[in-house]
Amino acid sequence: MKKLITLAVLAAAASVASAETKVEVFGFLDQGLTFIHENSNKGMMAPVGQRAPNVLKNGKVARQGATSRYMEGTGNVSTWGIKAREELNSDWSVLVHLEQGFLADDGAEYIKGKAFERESSLGIESKTWGTLKMGRMPAMLTGSGTTGLFNSRVNPFGAGWGNMTGGWKFVGTLASARHDNMINYRSPSFGGLEFHYQYSNGASDENEGTSKTNRYMAAGVTYTQPKYFVALAADWLNVQSADLKVGGWKLRDAYKVLLGGHYKFEPATVYGTVQYMKNIAYIGGYATKEFAPVTAEQNTSAADGKVGENKGFKALAFSLGTQFNALGGTVKVSAGTAFGKNQNITENNDFYRFNAGLGYVYPLSKRTSVYGIGGFFLQHADWQEKNIKSRELIVGLMHRF
What is the secondary structure of 56-117 as a DSSP string? PBTTBPPEEEEEEEEEE--SSPEEEEEEEEEE-SSSEEEEEEEEEEE-TTT--BSSTT-TT-
What are the start-end ranges of the E strands in 252-382?
254-264, 268-280, 282-283, 290-291, 308-310, 313-326, 329-342, 350-363, 368-381
Euclidean distance between CA atoms 172 and 166, whole angstroms: 11
Euclidean distance between CA atoms 245 and 240, whole angstroms: 13
Euclidean distance between CA atoms 44 and 61, whole angstroms: 12
| Residues of the chain scoring pLDDT < 70 | 1-19, 75, 204, 206-207, 209, 240-249, 299-308
- Residue 223: predicted pLDDT: 98
The answer to whether residue 84 sits within a structural domain is no
Q: What is the DSSP string of 31-55?
A: EEEEEEEEEEETT--TTT--SSPPB
Helix (H) or strand (E) holding 182: strand 178-186
**β-bridge pairing 130-138 and 290-291:** unpaired
Contact 273, 318 (CB under 8 A): yes
Q: Using CA of residue 276, residue 312, residue 168, residue 109, what is the dihedral sign? A: negative
For residue range 377-401, what is the model confidence (pLDDT) as tens digits?
A: 999 999 998 999 999 999 999 999 9
The answer to whether residue 36 sits within a structural domain is yes
Euclidean distance between CA atoms 331 and 40, whole angstroms: 29
The answer to whether residue 108 sits within a structural domain is no
The answer to whether residue 146 sits within a structural domain is no
pTM for this model (two decimals): 0.88
What's the residue count for the chain?
A: 401
Number of domain units in the chain: 1
Alpha-carbon dihedral of residues 181, 187, 189, 192, nearest 10 degrees? -70
Euclidean distance between CA atoms 55 and 334, whole angstroms: 33
Distance of CA 26 to the CA centre of its chain: 20
β-bridge mates for residue 85, sequence order: 22, 95
φ, ψ of residue 389 in degrees (nearest 5)? -155, 150
Q: Which residues of 112-134 are buried (b: 16+ CB within 10 A; e: fewer)?
A: eeeebbbbbbebbbeeeebbbbe
Q: CATH number of the domain at 49, please.
A: 2.40.160
Euclidean distance between CA atoms 49 and 43, whole angstroms: 6
Range of the domain at 395: 31-75+153-182+191-400
* CB atoms near residue 1 (< 10 Å): 5
The answer to whether residue 168 sits within a structural domain is yes
- Residue 252: predicted pLDDT: 84
The answer to whether residue 2 sits within a structural domain is no
The answer to whether residue 265 sits within a structural domain is yes
The answer to whether residue 277 sits within a structural domain is yes
Dihedral-angle region of residue 201 (phi above 0 means left; psi in -120 to 50 means alpha; beta otherwise): alpha
Euclidean distance between CA atoms 308 and 288, whole angstroms: 25
